[in-house]
Amino acid sequence: MQLSTASQIPVELRERFATAQRVLVLTGAGISAESGVPTFRGGGNSAVWKGLPFDVISSAQMVKRDLPAVWEWFDYRRDILKNLAPNAAHKAIVRWQRQSRFSEFTLVTQNVDGLHQYAGSTDVIEMHGSIWRARCISCHSTFEILRDDKRQEECASCGEHLRPDVVLFGEILPTGAFERAAEAAAKCELCIVIGTSALVYPAASLPEIAKANGAFLCEINPERTPLSDLCDVVLTGKAGELLDLIEH
C-alpha cells in the first residue's frame, strides 16, 4: 500500500510517536536516494564500479591489493555528493531531534555521505565511517576532506598512505559505535528503520535488539526486507514522502 496522507499512517504508530520518550532511528542508503545518492542494493540491482561489484571494491582486501582503485571509487562518489543536498527525510529527522519531544533521541546511520550532518543532525552515530574523512594506514590519524579541496595524498603526521575512513566489508566498526548504538537500541521504546536493506551486520542487529527488548518497530522502505516480518508497522514507500506524515 502506498501512503500519501497523514490519515493513512497507522494510528498506533502516530500514538507511539506522540508518546515515546526514547527513540532510535536507524538509516541506510535509501534515505539519501531522493537526494540523488545511488543505493548499494534495491530494485533488484547491485552497485558496480568499473566491472567490480561494490562489495569487492569496498573491501578490506581491496585496500591491501589496490588502494588507488579504492580511492578512485571514493573520489568518484565524493564528486557526485558535493553537488547534492539533504532531502525532506533528512530534514524531518533534524526536526525530531531539535523539538526535544523525546527525552532520548539517537540517530544511527550506516551512510557515509554526511547528509544527516549537512541537514543539521548532531551526535550522529556513523557505523560505517565517513566519505569526508581520510585515515592513515599506519598511525590512524584522521583528516577531514573538504568539499571543494583536493584531498591529501599522505599522512601529515607520519607521511604514510591515507585510505578512506570508512568501514569496508571484513573490517571492524569504529570503536564504541556499535556499543553506543546497541545500548540505545536496548533502551528505546520506538525504533524507526529507514531505507536499509537490513542485510549488513552488525547494523542489521540493532532493530532485532530493539524488538527483543520490547520496542515498537517501524520500517520505512519501498521494498520488503528481511526485517519486515519482525516489524509492528511497515510503511511501504519513500522516506522523503512518509516521514513528514508520521509527526502530524
Contact pick of 9, 23, 25, 39 for ligand BJW (by CB under 6 A): 39
Are the C-beta atoms of residues 110 and 28 closer than 8 Å to each other? yes
Q: Which stretch binds ligand BJW (CB under 6 A): 90-98, 148-156, 185-193, 216-224?
A: 216-224
**Does the active-site annotation cover 90?**
no
The region of 9-17, 118-126, 145-153, 214-222 touching ligand BJW under the rule CB under 6 A is 214-222
Of 3, 24, 33, 92, the one binding ligand BJW (CB under 6 A) is 33
SS3 14: helix
Q: Residue 39 CB, nearest distance to ligand BJW (Å)?
A: 3
% helix, strand, coil for the chain, step of 5: 35, 20, 40
CB of 164 to ligand BJW, least distance (A): 7
For residues 69, 111, 181 and 223, what is the CA-based torsion angle, rounded to 10 degrees?
Answer: -120
Q: By CB under 6 A, tell whether 196 contacts ligand BJW.
A: yes
Stretch that binds ligand BJW, among 100-108, 114-122, 136-144, 195-203 (CB under 6 A): 195-203
Secondary element (H or E) of residue 100? none
d(C-alpha 98, C-alpha 100), whole Å: 5
Whether the bond between 164 and the residue before it is cis, its omega within 30 degrees of 0, is no
> Is 32 one of the binding residues for ligand BJW (CB under 6 A)?
no
Of the candidates 90, 116, 128, 161, the residue annotated as catalytic is 128
d(CA 201, CA 78): 24
Asked if 133 interacts with ligand BJW (CB under 6 A), we say: no
In terms of C-beta density within 10 A (0-12 exposed, 13-18 middle, 19 or more buried), how is residue 237 classed? middle
Annotated catalytic residues are 128
Summarize as ranges the residues that interact with ligand BJW (CB under 6 A).
28-30, 33-34, 39-42, 58, 110, 112, 128, 166-172, 195-197, 199-202, 220-223, 225, 238-239
